[in-house]
Amino acid sequence: MSKKINTNDTEALKRLNSVISSKTATVNEAKSEFLAISALYEANAAILVKVNALNYTPKNLVSQNNYIQKYTDLRIQQMALFKNALDEGADKYTAQLTAIANQIQNLVETNKKE
């Protein structure tokens, strides 16, 4: 389970960094990438649903699964906001995107400490 989640996350982050740093991507190309990235995180969410449905999660993995679920949910929200910002050509999502980026960063930093 965790290998597939890690693979999806690595691919999603690679694609996200590429589209954000691209100076030549069109709006449609960027939207397409955000949808593809979101699909990777939605696949991770589906994996977690299957694992949680087994009703057998070792206690040491419960907090890890909770972390992954929160992280995945935030990434899905982030991709939706990126796509909305491109669709509407507006800066009205900047504050929300910043807040989610901060939440992700705090979550990652907290998880590293545990």
Domain extent at residue 71? 2-113
Banded pLDDT at 1 (limits 50, 70, 90): low
**Alpha-carbon span 75 to 60, nearest angstrom:** 24
Q: Where are the beta strands (DSSP E) in 1-114?
A: none
Domain count, the chain: 1
* Total-model pTM: 0.87
**27-37 pLDDT per residue, tens:** 999 999 999 99
**pLDDT value at residue 90:** 74
Answer yes or no: is pLDDT of 113 > 90. Answer: no
pLDDT in tens, 2-23: 789 999 999 999 999 999 899 8
CB–CB of 87/31 below 8 Å? Answer: yes
Residues 6+ apart with CB under 8 A from 31: 83, 86, 87
Report residue 41 as tokens.
Answer: 């995180």
